[in-house]
Amino acid sequence: MAASPHTLSSRLLTGCVGGCVWYLERRTIQDSPHKFLHLLRNVNKQWITFQHFSFLKRML
């Protein structure tokens, strides 16, 4: 049985997005590992502050 066009396109899209992310990660690591780590640290900080904010909201 042939795959429906919807599943096929979603599969293609997922593959494309995954490829783009992989390519960007690889380029960033090649460009400068320090920059990549800095980016990760910033994301972590934002996530922690967001969690902290949610926690405070729940407490009030």
pLDDT for position 39:
74
Alpha-carbon span 9 to 52, nearest angstrom: 39
- pLDDT, one tens digit per residue, over 32-57 is 667 767 777 777 787 778 888 888 88
Residue among 30, 9, 28, 8 at smallest CA distance from 20: 28
Alpha-carbon span 52 to 45, nearest angstrom: 10
The residue ranges of every structural domain in the chain are 5-59
Alpha-carbon span 40 to 28, nearest angstrom: 12
Whether the model pTM is above 0.75: no
pLDDT for position 24:
72
pLDDT for position 28:
65
- pLDDT, one tens digit per residue, over 4-42 is 556 666 666 666 666 767 777 777 666 666 776 777 777
